[in-house]
Amino acid sequence: MITTDTSAPRRANSPLKLGELLALNRESADALLHASSGPRDDSRELIASFRNTRTFSNRLCEPLEVEDYVIQSMPEASPMKWHLAHTSWFFETFILKPHFKGYASSHPEYNFLFNSYYNAVGPFHARPQRGLLSRPTVKNALEYRTEVDALVTELLENADEEKLLELKPLIILGVNHEQQHQELMLTDLKHMFAQNPLHPVYCPNALTASGDVQSMAWIPFDGGLHRIGHDGEAFAYDNEGPSHQVVIGSFAMASRLVTNQEYEAFIEDGGYERPDLWLSLGWNAVNEKNWKAPLYWEKCDGKWRQFTLHGVENLSPDEPVGHISYFEADAFARWAGARLATEAEWELASEGVPIAGHFVDDELFKPIAAKLGDGIYAPTQMFGDLWEWTRSSYSPYPGYKTTDGALGEYNGKFMCNQYVLRGGSCATSQSHIRRTYRNFFPPDARWQFSGIRLTRDTQ
Amino acid sequence: MITTDTSAPRRANSPLKLGELLALNRESADALLHASSGPRDDSRELIASFRNTRTFSNRLCEPLEVEDYVIQSMPEASPMKWHLAHTSWFFETFILKPHFKGYASSHPEYNFLFNSYYNAVGPFHARPQRGLLSRPTVKNALEYRTEVDALVTELLENADEEKLLELKPLIILGVNHEQQHQELMLTDLKHMFAQNPLHPVYCPNALTASGDVQSMAWIPFDGGLHRIGHDGEAFAYDNEGPSHQVVIGSFAMASRLVTNQEYEAFIEDGGYERPDLWLSLGWNAVNEKNWKAPLYWEKCDGKWRQFTLHGVENLSPDEPVGHISYFEADAFARWAGARLATEAEWELASEGVPIAGHFVDDELFKPIAAKLGDGIYAPTQMFGDLWEWTRSSYSPYPGYKTTDGALGEYNGKFMCNQYVLRGGSCATSQSHIRRTYRNFFPPDARWQFSGIRLTRDTQ
Amino acid sequence: MITTDTSAPRRANSPLKLGELLALNRESADALLHASSGPRDDSRELIASFRNTRTFSNRLCEPLEVEDYVIQSMPEASPMKWHLAHTSWFFETFILKPHFKGYASSHPEYNFLFNSYYNAVGPFHARPQRGLLSRPTVKNALEYRTEVDALVTELLENADEEKLLELKPLIILGVNHEQQHQELMLTDLKHMFAQNPLHPVYCPNALTASGDVQSMAWIPFDGGLHRIGHDGEAFAYDNEGPSHQVVIGSFAMASRLVTNQEYEAFIEDGGYERPDLWLSLGWNAVNEKNWKAPLYWEKCDGKWRQFTLHGVENLSPDEPVGHISYFEADAFARWAGARLATEAEWELASEGVPIAGHFVDDELFKPIAAKLGDGIYAPTQMFGDLWEWTRSSYSPYPGYKTTDGALGEYNGKFMCNQYVLRGGSCATSQSHIRRTYRNFFPPDARWQFSGIRLTRDTQ
Amino acid sequence: MITTDTSAPRRANSPLKLGELLALNRESADALLHASSGPRDDSRELIASFRNTRTFSNRLCEPLEVEDYVIQSMPEASPMKWHLAHTSWFFETFILKPHFKGYASSHPEYNFLFNSYYNAVGPFHARPQRGLLSRPTVKNALEYRTEVDALVTELLENADEEKLLELKPLIILGVNHEQQHQELMLTDLKHMFAQNPLHPVYCPNALTASGDVQSMAWIPFDGGLHRIGHDGEAFAYDNEGPSHQVVIGSFAMASRLVTNQEYEAFIEDGGYERPDLWLSLGWNAVNEKNWKAPLYWEKCDGKWRQFTLHGVENLSPDEPVGHISYFEADAFARWAGARLATEAEWELASEGVPIAGHFVDDELFKPIAAKLGDGIYAPTQMFGDLWEWTRSSYSPYPGYKTTDGALGEYNGKFMCNQYVLRGGSCATSQSHIRRTYRNFFPPDARWQFSGIRLTRDTQ
C-alpha cells in the first residue's frame, strides 16, 4: 500500500524567498482566468491551458531559494532562472513579436540570452555558459514572465476567430514546450542538488510504499504489418509523424519496469565488470566515467542509498530503477537474456493502455513500485514513472519534413546519435504525453528519470 | 576517356626496403599453391583464397619503407606493421590454437599486442598506443606472417573432410577479416602520409580521366513490402541477417555519386557557414574541427587541390567527392533538396546491379568519374569507388543474435552511434562486397573512401 | 585633475537584496565596538581592527544581488558567498575552536565546505566545485559571520592579558587574511561580471581624470650589498623573512607605471605577433589563449574599450595598464628595451617611499593616472593602483622556515612556478601592504589588478 | 667492487640494421681526420672535436633497429631520426649557409622539418608532430649527416686564420649542442622503450656493483660573499654568465646522492600519501598522475624493480635514485629534515672538485653507487651519475643579455617555470659539463637522469 501525507505543506519559503513574487505571478494568472470569461470557449480553454502551464512552472519553484535558480551544474543542464526566462522568450518570439501589433520588446538583450538554439532567430549565448550570469536576476526573470503572460493573454482575449485559428497551434506548441522545460527543471535541479555535499531536500514529504510488488510477467504481442506514428488533428510534435506502416515480429514485453532489487542483482553479478555485457561505447563509458551503479546511488556501510528530490533514502527494492543510461539498460537486458524494445514495438504494446500512472501532476517526484494485481493482461507503468529506453536510434520517419523557419529547428536537427525513450516519467505532465511521443537522449545520459523495460522475441 | 600506363612498374624498393622478405613471403605462398594440388578441390580452393588474400596484404606494402610501417597518425588508425601482425594473430587465435594439434605459439606475447578488441581472448594493448611500439620489428611481423601461413596451409592440406568442414567458415572469416584490414591499411596510410608536409607518394602513376561525365538522373523505385538482409549459404557477416521484410516508400535514387564540382558549388554557396543545413552535432563538428572542405582538400592560390595516394593533385571536377563525413553528406543532401537513402532503399536499388566497378583489385587507389552512357536505367557506381553513407543508424536486424564466444564481438557490440555505409570503395576487394554488406562508421569519420549518393521521395 | 563625486550614494539595494542583513551585521559590529570599551587598550584596538575588517567585507557586498554571490566564473575564482564564509571559517578554526572554552560548532559541515586548502585541518571541498553550491544560502553565510563575530568579540573582551598575548597574532593574521580575500572578492566579481554580455556595473560612479600625466623618467639606484626582507616585531607574513643581505647591481627604475597609451603602442607595433619578444611559455600562452590585448580590453569600431567595475569605458590613455600577465609585462619590457625589476631591486627602490596611493579604502576600484609633478626624485605609484610584476620567481628566502601546524600551509607550499608582485593595488587595503610584502601569481594570471613598471641596468 | 665485461661486444646489428651506413659515416669521419692533417693545429683540433662528436651520435645508434628511430613517445621527446637530422640542420643553418660560399641546400624542406624552435630562422614543424613523419627515412637522415659532415670539414680545412676565428665559436657551439642531443637521445629512447610491454634492451651488459656504499655525511661550507657564474674565455653557454657576486649563508651538503634504499624508506613511510611533505603543485601532480614511486619503477610480487637501458632489473639499494621530479626531490628533502641546495651553494661546494665520475663516455648508461672512502672531505658524485635538482628557479643572472639573432633563442626564452639542475649525468659527455653549467627542466619532469642531493643550513 502506498501512502503519503498530502496534508503536509510544501516547504515554507524563507523571508528571503521569492514567495510573494511567485504568488503574485500566480494571482495574475488567476486574474487572467476570470478576465478571460469571454464568449468564445476556444479562447477561454486556450487561455486556461496557457495559464495553468505557466503557473505550474512557478509552483515547481516554490521550495527554492534565490541561490537555487542560478547554478548550472553541468553543460547539459540549465539554471532554473534560465528555464523560466527561456520559456517566456519562446512565447515572446513566436507569438508576441509576429502577432502582437506594435509589440516592442522591453528587453531586446533577452533575445540573445534566452534563445536556446534557434539559429534562424539569431545568435545566442553559448549553452555551457548559462551558469555564468548572475544578471538578469531571478526577480527580473519573474517580471519578464509576468509581462509576457499579460500580453499573451491580452492577445488571446482580443483575437478574432481567424486570428485565434492562427494562434492556437503556436500556443499549444508553447505550452508543450514549457511542459518539457518543467521536466528539465526537475532533472536539472536534482543534478545540481546532488553535487552538494549537504544534499539539499527539494520536497521533504516522500511517498512510502509497502506491500508486494507484482512479479514480472511477459505479455505477448503478435507480429505483422502495423501502423505507427501520429495521425489526426490533435497536437503532436512533427517528429511523431508521418504515420506509416512497419513490419513488426512477434515479441513479448515485460509487464512492468525493472526494479532496484533486480538491478542490484545485476551489479552483484559483476554487471559493471563484464565487457561481454556491454556495447563497445558503453564499456568505454563504464571505464572512463567509473560507473559502478546508477547515477545518484551511493554505497554507505555496504548498503546502497540513493539521492532523490526528497533527500538521501535507503534503496526501496520494489521501486523501478531510474537514472539509467541507454548503455546500462542495454547491458542489463543482455544480462537478463532479453533486449530492449524497438519504439515500434513499444507503440504497438501501448495500444489501448490508458494514459495513467504517476506524473508530475501528482507531485511525487519519484517513480513508484508497480501494484500487485496490475500488469497481468497488459503492461503496467507504460506511462509516467520512468521514461523507457528503446533500442531505436532517433531518426526521421519516412516522409518526415521539418517545418519551415525557426520552429523547424525544434526536432529534426537532433536526429543523430540519440536513442528514443517512450512513455513519460514522474516529471512529465500527464497532458503532455502520448503513445506516439518520442523523447530522445544520447546513450550515456543518466540524469533523466529513465528506466528499463525488457522485451524478447517470441516464435 | 580514362587511361593509365599500367606498364610502369610500382615504385622500386630501396636497398633498405623489405622487398626480399615480402617476395619471400609471396614465394612461400606460391609454394603453397603447388603443394596444395591435392585431391580435394575444396581444400585447394580454400588454400588459394587464403594464399591470395595473404599475398595481397604484402603486395600493398611493396611501396613502403620500413619507417612507414611504424607510425599511428591518429587513435582510429593503426600502424601497417600492426595490421600485418593482427591479421596473422586472427588466424593463429581462431584457427591454429584451437585446431592445430600440439600448437604452441612461438610468440605468446603477441596475444597481448595484436588482439584488437576481443575481451573474451584476454587483455590487450590499448589501441591508441599501437604507435609506441618499435619492437617487434617489421621483419618480426613478416616472419610471424610466414610462420602462420605455413602452419595454416599445413593444417588445411592435412585436414580430412570433416575437419575441412569445420575449418572452412573460419578460413573464410579470416580472409574477409584480412580484406577489411587491407582497406584500412590504405586509409590509415593515406592519413599518415597526409600529415607529412613532404606529402609522400604511395603510387606515382595516377589514372587521368578525360571527357564528359554523365549528368545526374533520378532512377525511380516503387515502394512496398520488400525483403532485405542476407539469406542463404554464402558467406556473410552476422550483422547482415536475418533476412526480413521491411516497408519501403516510393523513392528515386541518383544515377551516380555526387562529384567534386557539385560539392564545390555547395562550398561556394556557403555550405559550411549555414547552420540550417546541418544536424546539430554536425554543426558542432564544423565549428570545433574547423571544417571548410572535405578531408584532404587544401586551397592553393584560390584553387582546391587534394592529397591522394598519388600525391597532391588538382581537383578533378567529375570525380566523385570523397572523404566526406556523414554530417557533410547529410548537409549536402539537404542543400540539394534531397536526402540520403536508408540502407533498405539502397539494398532495393542495388537489386540486379552487377558487383562491378573500381575496386582495390584494380590498384587505382582512387574513385573514378562515372562514364557517360551509364546510369540511365540503373544507378551506376553502386559498387566500388566510394562507400555511400546511408541515413540508417547501425542497429541490429530483427532477430539478430551474436555468435557465442570471442567472434561474437566482431560486429554486435559496435551497434551504437554509427551510420551504415554501403557498396564498397576503390580500397575494397571485389570479392569482399555484397548487396547486403553493412559497413559502419561514426558520423564524423572522414578518413574512409566515403561519398554521397542522393535520394528523394517520390509520390 | 582628478575628480569624483563622492557624495553620490552607492547603488541602492533592491527589495530583494540582502541590505538589511548586511546592515544588521554592521550594526552588530558597531555594537561590538561600544561593548568593547573595556579597560585594556590593546583589546579595544584589536576588537576595532577585527570589527572594521569584518564590516568592510560586508560593505563591499552592498551593491550585490543575491545571485551575484553564488557564481564561480573560473576555477581560480570563488563565489562571494564562499569568501564571506571562508574568512569566518578561518576565525572559527584558528581562534574559536582552540581558544573559546566549550565551543561547539553549530555547522560542523562548514569545516568541509569552507576550508580552502589546509590539509592539516582535514579534507575539503574541491576548489573548482565551489560554484556548484546553492546552499548554504547567502543568508546562512551572513548568519555564520554574525555568529563568529559575536563569539570572537566575546572571547577578546573576556581575555586576560596572557590570553590576549596568545590571541593577538592570530587575530592579526585573520584580519590580514580577510583583507586578502576582500581583494579577491573584487577581482573575482570583476571576472564574473565580465563574462556577462550585459556587463553589470558594480559601482556606477567612476573617477574621471583630466590633465597631463607625467612623462616617464628613470630614477637611478646604486648597487651594493643591501638588506631585504621583514625584520622586527610588526606583523608580516612568514614568507617576508628572514631579513637577509643580497648583492644588487646599479639600476634605474621607471618613475611611474606603464600607461594604456604606451601599451597600445606595443600592440600596434605587433607586440602580440612577434615571438622574439616573448618567453617561450609566454608565446605558447599568446597562441593557445588567443591573446591580443590585456584582459578586459575589447575593440569596438576600431577603438579599444575596457570593462571595469564601473562598466565598459573608453580607454583612458594616461591610466596605468592593468590586468596584465607576467608574460605580457616581460614582453612589453623587452620591446621597450628595458626589463622588470627583481623583488630586491623593487624593495630597495621603495625605501623611504610612503605607503600612500590609491587603495581599496578610497573605493575607486581602478588605478589612476600618475600626477604631473610626482615621480621626479622617487618613483611614484609604488603602492596601490596596481601590483607590479617582478622578474623574481616566488621562492623561500635563505633560512625560511614554515610555521608548524595548519598555518604552515599558508605560504610555503605555493613557492613554485609563481612570480612575485609588489606594492598592492587599488583593491588592496592600505593597512595591509608593506615594502616587504610579497604577493605571487602564476605567470599567465591576468585577473589581478596587475601592471608593469620598467627597470634597466645602469653602469 | 664494480665490474663490467667491457670485452663483450655491443649488440650485433641485424641484416636490416643501418650498420653499414653508420659505419660508412664513421669511416668518412676517419677520412676527415686524416685529410685534415693540415698545418694549423687549431683547425685540426676543431675538426677532431667535430668528428668525434658527430661519430658518437652514430655510435649511440648502433644497437637500434630502423623502427626505433621513428617513434615519439611523448610530446617532450623526439624520434632518434629527428635528433640526427636536427643536429645536422644546426651545423647547416649556422655554419654552412652563412659561411660556405655558394652553398645551396639540397634539401630546402629540411629547414622546416628540423628547425626545433628558432623563430628567427623561419616557421617550423610543430614539436608534438615529430613522430608523424615516416619520411625522410633514417637513411635520408644519415645521408644528410654525411653531406653536412663533408662540407663542414671542407670549410674548416680551407678556412684561413681569420675565417677560422669566426667559425671556431660556432663549431664549438654546434658540438656542445650535439652533445646535449646525445643525452636526449638516450633519455628519449629510454622513455620509448619503457612504453613497450616487451621492454626492449638497449645495452645488454649491465654493470653490477657489490660491496658497501659510503654512509651519507655532511660536508660543511662557510657562508659569505662568493662569486658564481662563468668567467673567462673558455666556452660556456650565455646563461652561465655574467659572473657575479652573491651572498651565501653557511650550509652543509650531503657527501653523496640519495640512494634507492633511502628513497624506498620515504615511500614506505607514506611519502606519496602525505600532503604536508609536498609543494601544492607537487601534491596536485602526485594525485593527477598517480605517482607512487620514481618513473620506471614497478612493483612485482611486492618488490620494486626498475626499467633501465639494460632491461628490467632488481632495484640496487646503493645506487642513486634517479628519474625523480623536482617535486619528489623537494618532498624527499622535507621528509629527511633537509632541503635542496640553491645553485649558488652547489657551485660553491663544487669548487675544487675534479670533473670526474660516470659519464656517457663510459657507456654505462646508468648511475653507479658511491664508493666507500669517497665523500669524506668533499662531496662525491658531484659530476656525472645524475643531474642534481636545485631549489633555484631558472632565471637570468644579473646583467644577462641574450645574443642577437637566432642563437639568442638558445637559452633565454626558457627562463620561466623551470628549475636548475647541476653536475651532469651518466648520459652527459664529460667534456660537456662544467661547475657553472646550468641545466633546467620543469618541476614535474621525470624522464631525465635526475636525482637528489640534500643540503641543510648550519649556524
Interval A16-50: pLDDT, tens: 335 555 654 444 444 444 444 444 678 899 999 99
- Whether the CB of A279 is below 8 Å from some CB of chain B: the reply is yes
What's the CA gap between C138 and C147, in Å, rounded?
Answer: 14
Q: Are B129 and D195 in contact (CB under 8 A)?
A: yes
Which one of A276, A279, A417 has the shortest CB-CB distance to B119? A276
Give the model's confidence band at D60: pLDDT under 50 very low, under 70 low, under 90 confident, else very high: very high
Alpha helices for B243-313 (secondary structure H): 260-268, 280-288
Strand partners, D371: D213
Separation between Cα atoms, residue D59 and residue D26, nearest integer Å: 9
Considering only CA atoms, which of C296, C307, C303 is closest in space to residue C199? C307
* Residue B248 CB coordination number (10 Å): 20
Pair C379, C349: CB distance under 8 Å: yes
Which of C189, C199, C205 is closest to C80 using CA atoms?
C189
Confidence of residue B21 (pLDDT cuts 50, 70, 90): low
Q: Do the Cβ atoms of A444 and A327 come closer than 8 Å? A: yes
Structural contact between residues A214 and A370, judged by C-beta atoms closer than 8 angstroms: yes
Average pLDDT over residues A372-393: 91
What is the C-alpha to C-alpha distance for residues D452 and D454, in angstroms, rounded to an integer? 6
Is B198 a residue whose pLDDT tops 60?
yes
Q: Calculate what percentage of chain B has a pLDDT beyond 70.
A: 90
Q: What's the CA gap between D159 and D172, in Å, rounded?
A: 16
Which residue type does B247 have?
V
> Are D137 and B65 within 8 A, CB to CB?
yes
Judge whether A392 is closer than 8 Å to chain B, CB to CB. Answer: yes
Q: Which residues contact C205 (CB under 8 A, 6 or more apart)?
A: C4, C5, C8, C310
**What is the pLDDT, as a whole number, of residue D100?**
97
Gap between the Cα atoms of B334 and A423, Å rounded = 31
Phi, psi of B256 (to 5 degrees): -155, 175
Give the model's pLDDT for residue C14: 36
Tell me: pLDDT of A274 over 50.
yes
Kind and range of the H or E run holding A157: helix A138-158
Contact yes or no for B418/B388 (Cβ under 8 A): no
Could you read off the pLDDT of B433-458 as tens digits, one per residue?
A: 999 999 999 999 999 999 999 999 99
| Interchain CB contact of A113 with C (< 8 Å) | yes
Taking an 8 Å cut-off on Cβ atoms, the answer to whether B416 and A276 are in contact is: no
Question: What pLDDT band is residue D212 in, cutting at 50, 70 and 90?
Answer: low
Measured distance CA(D458)–CA(D456) in Å, rounded: 6
Q: What are residue B419's DSSP bridge partners?
A: B393, B441
Residue B196 exposure: Cα atoms within 13 Å on the Cβ side: 27
The answer on pLDDT for B299 being more than 70 is: yes
Instruction: Extract the residue ranges of chain C whose pLDDT is less than 50.
Output: 1-17, 24-39
Report the sign of the C-alpha dihedral through residues D187, D189, D193, D199, in that order: negative
**D423, D433 in Cβ contact below 8 A?**
yes
**What's the confidence (pLDDT) of residue D98?**
96
**Host H or E run for residue D252:** strand D251-254
Residue of D64, D66, D139, D188 best to disrupt the B interface, most CBs of B under 10 A: D66
Does residue B1 carry a pLDDT above 50?
A: no
Q: What is the rounded distance in angstroms from the CA atom of residue B275 to the CA atom of residue D444? A: 44
Answer whether residue B38 shows pLDDT above 60: no
Residues 6+ apart with CB under 8 A from B320: B256, B257, B258, B259, B260, B367, B369, B370, B381, B385, B386, B451, B452
| The pLDDT value given to residue A9 | 36
Degrees to nearest 5, angle at CA D373 with D372 and D379: 100
- C-alpha cell belonging to residue C139: 543568508
pLDDT at D377: 83
Crossing angle of helices D80-91 and D161-194, rounded to 10°: 170
pLDDT, tens digit, 9 for 90 and up, residues D218-254:
999 999 999 999 998 899 999 999 999 999 999 999 9
Q: Contact A438/A422 with Cβ under 8 angstroms?
A: yes
Sheet holding B297-300, edge to edge: B297-300, B303-308, B311-314
* Three-state DSSP class for residue A6: coil
B70:D65 CB<8 A? no
Q: D364: which residues sit within 8 A by CB, 6+ positions away? A: D4, D207, D358, D426
Cβ of A126 under 8 Å from any chain C Cβ? no
Q: How many CB pairs under 8 A join A and B?
A: 75
What domains does chain B contain, in order, with CATH numbers?
18-194 (1.20.120), 218-457 (3.90.1580.10)
Q: Is C288 on the interface with A (CB under 8 A)?
A: no
| DSSP SS3 for B52 | helix
Q: Where are the alpha helices (DSSP H) in A317-443?
A: 326-335, 343-349
Are D328 and D347 in contact, with CB atoms under 8 Å apart? Answer: no
Q: Tell me: pLDDT of A371 over 90.
A: no
pLDDT of residue A209: 59
Query: Measured between alpha carbons, how far is D315 from D320 in angstroms, rounded to an integer?
Result: 10
Sequence letter at residue D228 = I
In the predicted structure, residue D10 carries a pLDDT above the cut 60: no
For residue D9, cis peptide bond before it (omega within 30 degrees of 0) = no
Least reliable range by pLDDT among A46-55, B250-259, D26-35:
D26-35
Quote the pLDDT of residue D411: 86
Looking at residue C40, what is its pLDDT?
Answer: 63
Burial class (CB in 10 A: 0-12, 13-18, 19+), D442: middle
What integer pLDDT is reported at residue D20 of this predicted model? Answer: 54
C-alpha span between C191 and C448 (Å, rounded): 9
How do beta strands D251-254 and D218-221 pair?
A: antiparallel
To the nearest whole angstrom, how far is the Cα of C455 from the nearest Cα of chain D? 12
> Nine-digit cell at A34?
476570470
| Three-state SS at B120 | helix
Q: Grid coordinates representing D8?
A: 663483450
The x, y and z cell numbers of residue A431, run together, are: 497532458
Instruction: Read off the pTM.
Output: 0.92
Task: Tell me the pLDDT band of D206, cut-offs 50, 70 and 90.
Answer: confident
From A194's Cα to the closest Cα of chain B, the distance in A is 28
pLDDT tens string C284-325: 999 999 999 999 999 999 999 999 999 999 999 999 999 999
Pick the residue with more confidence: D22 or B158?
A: B158
- Chain A: closest CA distance from residue B88 (Å): 23
Tell me if chain B has a CB within 8 Å of the CB of D195.
yes
Q: Round to whole Å and give the CA distance between D76 and D447.
A: 9
Helix (H, G, I), strand (E, B) or coil at C260: helix
The residue-averaged pLDDT of A46-74 equals 97
Segment holding A130, helix H or strand E: none
Amino acid at D453: R
Task: Identify the pLDDT of residue C208.
Answer: 64
3-state secondary structure of B231: coil
Mean pLDDT in chain B? 91
State the average pLDDT for chain A: 91
pLDDT at D295 over 50: yes
Average pLDDT, integer, range D152-179: 96
- Helix B138-158 vs helix B80-91: angle between axes, to the nearest 10 degrees? 20
In sequence order, what are the residues at sequence separation of 6 or more whose Cβ sits closer than 8 angstroms to the Cβ of residue D284?
none
Query: Tell me: the pLDDT tens digits for B230-281?
Result: 998 899 999 999 999 999 999 999 999 999 999 999 999 999 999 999 999 9
Q: What is the pLDDT of residues D379-425, one digit of tens each?
A: 999 999 999 999 999 999 999 988 888 888 888 999 999 999 999 99
Mutation target among C417, C418, C441 for the D interface, most CBs of D within 10 A: C417
Partner C contacted by A298 (CB < 8 A): no
Residue D14 — pLDDT band, cuts 50, 70, 90? very low
Q: Does D120 touch chain C (CB under 8 A)?
A: yes
* Cβ count near A289 (within 10 Å): 12
Only one residue has cell 577479416, namely B177
**Which residues are paired to C208 by β-bridges?**
C3
Grid cell in block for residue C51: 570589527
Average pLDDT over residues A279-283: 97
What ipTM was reported for this prediction? 0.91
**Distances B209 to B258, B265, B306, B316, C407 between C-alpha atoms, Å:** 16, 21, 16, 8, 78
What integer pLDDT is reported at residue D321 of this predicted model?
98
- pLDDT reported for residue B323: 98
Half-sphere exposure of A234 (CA within 13 A, CB side): 12
pLDDT, mean of residues A271-294: 97
Q: Any CB–CB contact under 8 A between D132 and chain B?
A: yes
